[in-house]
A and B are shown apart, each in its own frame.
Chain A
Amino acid sequence: MLTDANLWAYEEGTPILVDPVNGGGALPTRHWSSGSFEQIENINSDAFQKIKTGNRACYQCAIGCRQFHEIGDVRGEGPEFETIALCGANCGIGDIEALMRFNAECDQWGLDTISTGSVVALAMDMDLQGIAEFGFRFGDESYVTAPALIAKREGVGADLALGARALAAKYGHPELAMEAKNLELPGYDPRGSFGMSLGYATSDRGGCHMRCYPVADEVIEGSQPPDTLEGAAARIIGGNIDNGAIGQNFSSVKFSGIWCDFWAINPSQIGQLLKHLWQRTVTDDEVMLLGERIWNLGRLLNLREGVEADTLPARLLEPAGAHRDGPAAGKAIGRAEFEAALQEFYQIRGWDENGVPSEAKLAELGVDVRL
């Protein structure tokens, strides 16, 4: 539903996040070598408002947050914030038309912009460091040819199609891959928002900003410090519904119900909707319990299938990887601090030191299936 609370989604869409995230030093820039992009004014929300042609909605949605733009001979939907981050700043691209074109290419070829932007930036980084020559360089607009090459596995596209982890490993530098559980990380640098380090690492499907969103507290609203993990574990799990800093438990039930992220629905409203479905009262507590149960079931499935340990690339945790300049300059999470926060996360969740849900927790949640 379109209300004053989410009118931003209609008026600006996700590009509204570009300036605050860049301002917090948390915008991946030139393959995560910096947390802010000096050319951001060319590809921020204001820049896209100047070339906006209209709004479109997903089926049945009153918000209509899809922004359509036109520049030169490129027109169509997007780019969203993630695309501006991963295919713009992360590739050192400050040209709005080139970014529009790259986005359109990914759209046409059916490629995810986060993974594509990430692997192209990795290729640019390896080129810069003399590790391999892919013909793509930071800031070079010829990068718009990459999506087609990747989709067709043609030329250098054959290598880039491997994805960040396999590509970096192939050329002997696995430490360069910016991914968690083999899913390329989205547009929030944990060094500028420490809570996201736990968020990415404990996400069931790898590097994901949708499972929990401490960025809302730490960067957008600034109500929580972005440079400490103290208290982060609880926020990752429980979250804050009022300011968009959604936690894993609530995101589990909200997205299982396929409610859009941008509808600030609360547990009480979900309870009312479920009441019509189940013909009985559904309390706020039960709604949150549903979410916790979903998360635990997902964990059981992952464990059965041999999921990797919850961790992050060393570059994002260790002092040697800290940014040299920008708002997050010199800030490092620290591996020991990260591991301690991870253990705190497991404890709060009622899991053992390896992240395995305890029998007591499963009984509490009413989970009687063992996967």
Chain B
Amino acid sequence: MPHVLISSKKCTGCHMCELACSAYHEGVYRPSVARLFAEVNPTSGAIKGHTCLQTACAKCQEACPNDAIVTKEITLTVKGEFAAKGKVGDSVKGYVLVVVDDLCTNCGECYDVCPTDVIHEHPTKEVAYKCDLCDGEPQCIAFCQNPHVLAVDLKIDKMDKTGRAPVEVG
């Protein structure tokens, strides 16, 4: 199942993906409200990427007591070589986990269980917010501007932890 992955080997820690994400979703260039991030150790230079693993993880969906995190169908295009296994340029059908604002009570159960620390309370709305793969054209991947080395890309995972059927979400 597709999810965004940051290559810790190729990532240079420029944070452009975070800027693209915050710009697309919140209309501001503010890494603190991005739905993914590259953690950079300033001394050793070590990089750790934090992205939503979507249905390969689904711990947030499992923890939610209100069924507010739903599975939605999505079609994406694979850009770079990274973990694409020959699918570059192909359209990939998969699933994405989406927060339904009307059902979310901001209880915080999902914040506690996320293994990659990428679901939080929205800066202005009292609901959870997370990566939604940008309706099929992930901006983080589009803006990883290092064309010689695409560090942010789609990983097509075989795993699917979601127990719930996909729904139509407006």
Interface status of B13 (Cβ within 8 A of chain A): yes
Nearest CB on A from B55, distance (A): 31
Q: Among the interface residues A2, A53, A55, which one has the most CB atoms of the partner chain B within 10 A?
A: A55
| In contact, B45 and A1 (Cβ under 8 angstroms) | no
The docked-state distance in angstroms from the alpha carbon of A66 to that of B19 is 20
Interface status of A61 (Cβ within 8 A of chain B): yes
| In contact, A62 and B45 (Cβ under 8 angstroms) | no
The docked-state distance in angstroms from the alpha carbon of A53 to that of B19 is 26
| In contact, A54 and B45 (Cβ under 8 angstroms) | yes
Residues of B within 8 A of A367 (CB): none
- Nearest residue, chain B, Cβ from A69: B45
Secondary structure at chain A's binding surface: helix, strand, loop or mixed?
mixed
Interface status of B147 (Cβ within 8 A of chain A): yes
Interface status of B16 (Cβ within 8 A of chain A): yes
- Nearest residue, chain B, Cβ from A68: B45
| In contact, A56 and B40 (Cβ under 8 angstroms) | yes
Interface status of B85 (Cβ within 8 A of chain A): no
Residues of B within 8 A of A56 (CB): 12-13, 40, 45
Interface status of A354 (Cβ within 8 A of chain B): no
Interface status of A37 (Cβ within 8 A of chain B): no
| In contact, A57 and B45 (Cβ under 8 angstroms) | no
> Which listed residue (B14, B43, B45, B149) contacts A59, Cβ 8 A?
B14
| In contact, B12 and A57 (Cβ under 8 angstroms) | yes
Question: How big is the B interface, by class?
Answer: 10 to 19
Interface status of B145 (Cβ within 8 A of chain A): yes
> Which listed residue (A57, A58, A76) contacts B44, Cβ 8 A?
A76
Interface status of A335 (Cβ within 8 A of chain B): no
Interface status of B120 (Cβ within 8 A of chain A): no
The docked-state distance in angstroms from the alpha carbon of A62 to that of B143 is 9
Interface residues in A1-19 (C-beta closer than 8 Å to B) = 1-2, 7, 10
Nearest CB on B from A56, distance (A): 5
Interface status of A223 (Cβ within 8 A of chain B): no
| In contact, B146 and A60 (Cβ under 8 angstroms) | no
Nearest CB on B from A258, distance (A): 15
| In contact, A62 and B44 (Cβ under 8 angstroms) | no
Interface status of B9 (Cβ within 8 A of chain A): yes
The docked-state distance in angstroms from the alpha carbon of A64 to that of B40 is 13
Residues of A within 8 A of B158 (CB): none
Residues of A within 8 A of B14 (CB): 57-62, 64
Interface string of B116-141 (1 = CB under 8 A from A): 00000000000000000000000000
Interface string of A42-78 (1 = CB under 8 A from B): 0000000000011111111110101010000001110
The 7 closest A-B pairs by CB, nearest first: A64-B12, A57-B14, A62-B145, A57-B12, A68-B45, A55-B12, A56-B45
Interface residues in B1-41 (C-beta closer than 8 Å to A) = 9, 12-16, 19, 40
| In contact, B45 and A77 (Cβ under 8 angstroms) | yes
Secondary structure at chain B's binding surface: helix, strand, loop or mixed?
loop
Nearest CB on B from A13, distance (A): 12
- Nearest residue, chain B, Cβ from A75: B44
The docked-state distance in angstroms from the alpha carbon of A56 to that of B149 is 12
Q: Among the interface residues B19, B45, B148, which one has the most CB atoms of the partner chain A within 10 A?
A: B45
Nearest CB on B from A232, distance (A): 36
- Nearest residue, chain B, Cβ from A7: B148
| In contact, B145 and A76 (Cβ under 8 angstroms) | no
Nearest CB on B from A44, distance (A): 22
| In contact, A57 and B148 (Cβ under 8 angstroms) | no
Residues of B within 8 A of A60 (CB): 14-16, 19
The docked-state distance in angstroms from the alpha carbon of A68 to that of B149 is 17
Interface residues in B35-92 (C-beta closer than 8 Å to A) = 40, 43-45
- Nearest residue, chain A, Cβ from B8: A54
What are 8 of the A-B contact pairs (CB < 8 Å)? A2-B148, A7-B148, A53-B45, A56-B12, A57-B13, A64-B12, A64-B14, A76-B45
Nearest CB on A from B12, distance (A): 3
Residues of A within 8 A of B15 (CB): 59-60
The docked-state distance in angstroms from the alpha carbon of A218 to that of B44 is 37
The docked-state distance in angstroms from the alpha carbon of A57 to that of B148 is 14
The docked-state distance in angstroms from the alpha carbon of A275 to that of B141 is 29
Residues of A within 8 A of B145 (CB): 1-2, 62
- Nearest residue, chain A, Cβ from B15: A59
| In contact, B43 and A76 (Cβ under 8 angstroms) | yes
> Which listed residue (B43, B45, B148) contacts A10, Cβ 8 A?
B148
| In contact, B40 and A54 (Cβ under 8 angstroms) | no
| In contact, A2 and B146 (Cβ under 8 angstroms) | yes
The docked-state distance in angstroms from the alpha carbon of A68 to that of B43 is 10
